[in-house]
Structure formats: C-alpha cells, structure tokens
A and B are shown apart, each in its own frame.
Chain A
Amino acid sequence: MKIKLIDVHAAFGGTSSPKTPCVSKKEMLSEMKRLAVSRVVARMLPPNAGDIVVANQRLFRNCARDSRLIPCPLMVPAGGGDLLPEEEQVGRFVKQGARMVWIRPDQDRYNLTEIVTGRMFKALADRCLPALCLMDLIPLADMDKLLRRHPGLRIIAANVGYGQLRIVLPMLKAYPDFYLATGRGAADHDFLPAMERAGVIHKIFFGSGFPDAEPMMAITQLMYADISEGNRRAVGAGNIIRLLDEVKR
C-alpha cells in the first residue's frame, strides 16, 4: 500500500533564466499525480527582483479551491515601510489558507538581526506559523542564533546539504521547533535511520525540492530507508499534518 506523501518543499511559477521555462501549477500537479504525492505545501517563485506582493496574490489565486495545494507565501519584514505590518501580513496569510511561509533574506534585501526581523518572527511564533528556510540561502550558524532568540519560532530547514550531521543533529535535538525537510541536501547515507536512532524523526518532513530537484529521489530516500513503517508514514505526511494543524487561525 502506498504511503501518503505531503510535499513541504515544492514550488511552481517563476524562473531566473529565459532559457529555462516556468513550471506551471498544472505541470507540478501532474508530476505529483504521477508520483502519487497527495498534497503540496506550495510556494510560487516570484520573478527575480520582482513584485513579491503580486507573487503572493498569484499564489493564493492558484491555490484557492484546490485541496491538493496549501499555499506557502513569501514573507518579508515590514521595516522598510513598503509592506503591511507583520502581524497583518500573517493574519491575512492564515485567513487565505496559508499554513507555512518562506523567507529568503538576501534576495529580499534584509538580514536576520533582531532589529530587522524581531517583529516578523514574533508574529509567526504567536500564530505557530512555520517558516521554510532554504539553507543554501541561510547559513546554519545564523539559524542557530535565530532559534536561540525566538524559542517559539518554528523553522523548517530545506536544502541543508549532505555532510552536515555534526551541525544539524545537535540542532534538531536542542531546539524543539527546528525541523528538517528531506530530499535535496539531506541526502547522507542512512540519514533517516540516523534521525530515528537520535529520537528526532518526528521532526523530519518529506520534501522533494521540485522543480529544481528530481522529486522521485526524495521518495526513494524515504521508501527504502531502514526505519519503522510508523516513522515512514510520519515522515511522509503525519509529522507535517500535526504541525500544520497547530497553526492558530
């Protein structure tokens, strides 16, 4: 019997190069159907140097009335005076069905200091709304500082990179609200069994990295892992369902 899969790390929409076509929502859903992935916490890629507000609006429009998609909008701190206050952004996101946000500090021209992001992360923590962070964009050392400052903030790290267990495993053990997506990056030999042995597999979520990565790699990583069937189901969908259900609406 196929286990249920909910993909926490997938996106459609933009591209950075005219030579690389945009991946449409239809294409993403078609691929997910082919691989029997039942739901996607979907990001929409804004154009480079593009309008993130419009990108989020497009995301919500695309996800509306499609139970396969859970919108994951891009969040940016409001200290520059050009965006709604963080609490209001979060409130609107949740009202429109978002159960996660993502952040990309460098691209959106801010840093992770408290003065810049304190209000944003407090707003997220107050609602138990997780933030997806692509770790090829945010160093793990910066993430550690952030988690110390905001103990209630839920962070899901994706694209961690192989060979990072000496850093990632202590962080998973130490920080109750630090989580990891599988697939691209967390691709060490016996990664999932190591998480099971360490007692942190309840903090690991299935994430494919679509459209950049071949999504089946994250599936075989999970399906062939030497872990219990209960933990396989948990990583596949159970862990993320639990987290998303805790978002305060």
Chain B
Amino acid sequence: MMSLLEKARLGKPLGLTPCIDMHGHIGRINFPIPDFGGASLVRSMDKVGIGKIMVSHMNCMNFDARWGNDVVAKEIRNYPERIEGYISLWPDSSKNVLNEIKRCLKLGFGGIKLHTNKVRYNDPVYASMWETANERHLPVLMHTWGDEPTLGDLRTMAEKYPGAVLLAGHSGTGAEEKYIALAKELPNVYLELCYSQGPRGLVERFVQAVGAGKIVFGSDALFYSLHHQVGKVLGANIAEREKKLILGRNAACILAARKL
C-alpha cells in the first residue's frame, strides 16, 4: 500500500478520511491573490484530497469582519460539506461581539477566529465569546506569532475556559518551547501548523514533545498555498499514524465534540 509520502510525491490525492484543514481564508487582501473565492479553495483541496476546511474571511483582521462573515456564510451554503466557517469579530463592544456570535452560529458557523486587532485575547470585550466557546466546546483559532502577551493570554484563557478548544495558530513562529509548554500543560490547547517558512524539523520536534494528538494541520490558504503547506506534514519523519492524526483525525474529534 502506498504511503502518504509516496502519494504526495506522485501528486496523487491522499485518499485519507478524515482530512481537514483547520486554518483557511477566502476573500481579497492587500496583495494579489488571483482567485480568492470558495471555488478556487475547493479546487485546491481536491488536488490533495482535503475533505473539509475551516475558513474565516481575510477581513478577520479589520472592521469589515461582519461583511466578511456574510461572504463566508455564502460559501458555506455553496459548499456545505467542504467549507465550514470561523466567526470573525471586530471587538468594538461586548454587545456587538455577542450579537455577531449569535448571528453567525445561526448561519451555520462552527468556530471562532481571533486576530490580534490591537485587543488582547483576555480583554473583557471578548467575555461572551469565551463563555459561548466554553459552553459549546467550539474551536477558537487564535492568531499567534511566538510573542507576548499573546501566548500568555492564550494560556490564561485556556485555563479559565476549559471547555473551549484553543488552536494556537502559526505554532513554531519563534518561542518553540512556549508552544510546546502550552500544548503539554493544557488539555484544551492544540498546535496549528501554518507558517510560510516551514522550518525543517519543526513538525518532528512538536510530535516528539507533545505527541501527534495535540497538533492540527492548517494551511492559511488562500494567503499561502495549501499545496505548499501540506508538504511539511507529508514529508516529516514521523509515523504514518501520526500524519493521519495531524491531517484530520484530531480535527475530526474537535469538530465532533461541538454543541452546535
């Protein structure tokens, strides 16, 4: 039977179920992405055999977050089995945060994407978001970049809201030891892998330190190339079983545990 590495080397779909990308985006950003819609994303996924992707709009980083959520909602309807939505929030008030979460959950969104919009993750404006994530066991994908106070705030919120599932986005972008400590010490924290530079050996080090069960694959498509990012897992010197955990089984467990 062909290994995942061999299939990838031949450019064949992986034939893996589940195969889930936990960090995606659609929409236009301030650098050129020729085709930034759901169709382009799904075509990209089909080449590899990725069954599902969780996406937020590129506007997760600015005040057009609500408009971006509407665009994502449309793509969820277009590709109901393939694209799921992370709710993006522009945290200008507690009331607006709560209202947007309620609105988007009704639209079929299944997680929350937080970006460091000059508001710390432990800011009281996010309290209703954290309570919702805690009650419903939602994944919260948090932009991190190896720095403080972001990682410290992630730890604080993970401890305070044990029912929420915190995905440390871009794990390994500096301060590897801090990411490892977070995943080792906190049962509800997972390491998410997207990083354009793809340092050699990072996946192996993470697997060795925290176990493949605490890592999820994310590509940051359409920012980055999904085809480029998936290579770091497929090429890693880890067991086939560990690749399958990272490429979908862990994510499937996270998604199955939600109360939607």
Q: CB within 8 Å of B: which residues of A?
A: 1-2, 35-36, 161-166, 183-185, 187-191, 194, 197, 209-221, 223-226, 232
Contact = CB atoms under 8 A, between A and B. Distances in A.
Contacts of A215: 200, 235
B196 A219 contact: no
Contacts of A219: 8-9, 231, 235
Interface residues of B, number: 39
B221 interface: yes
Given A189-B222, A189-B223, A224-B48, A36 B9 contact: yes
A200 to B, nearest CB: 14
Given A165-B32, A166-B32, A214 B203 contact: yes
Given A2-B10, A214-B231, A220-B234, A190 B200 contact: no
Interface of B: 5, 8-11, 31-36, 40, 43-44, 47-48, 196-203, 221-232, 234-236
A222 to B, nearest CB: 8
A190 B9 contact: no
Given A162-B31, A185-B197, A215-B235, 5 more contacts: A162-B196, A187-B196, A214-B235, A216-B8, A224-B44
B48 to A, nearest CB: 6
B199 A214 contact: yes
B234 A216 contact: yes
A217 B32 contact: no
Q: Which of B197, B203, B226 has the most CB of A within 10 A?
A: B197
A187 B8 CA distance: 17
10 contacts: A1-B10, A184-B196, A190-B34, A213-B198, A214-B200, A214-B236, A220-B227, A220-B231, A224-B44, A224-B48
A212 B200 contact: yes
Given A184-B197, A184-B198, A187-B196, A220 B8 contact: yes
A13 to B, nearest CB: 15
Contacts of B231: 214, 216-221
A1 B12 CA distance: 11
Nearest to B228: A221
A210 B225 contact: no
B53 to A, nearest CB: 12
Q: Which of A164, A185, A197, A217 has the most CB of B within 10 A?
A: A217
B225 A189 contact: yes
Contacts of A35: 5, 9, 235
Contact of B225 (A2, A166, A221): A221
A162 B224 contact: yes
A24 to B, nearest CB: 14
B44 A190 contact: yes
Contacts of A183: 228
A166 B228 contact: no
Given A162-B196, A166-B32, A184-B197, A217 B10 contact: no
A212 to B, nearest CB: 6
A217 B9 contact: no
Contacts of B221: 189
Q: Which of B9, B43, B47, B230 has the most CB of A within 10 A?
A: B9
A195 to B, nearest CB: 11
A239 B123 CA distance: 53
Nearest to A164: B31
B44 A220 contact: no
A193 B228 CA distance: 13
Q: Which of B5, B199, B226, B235 has the most CB of A within 10 A?
A: B235
B200 A226 contact: no
Contact of A216 (B5, B33, B226): B5
A210 B223 CA distance: 23
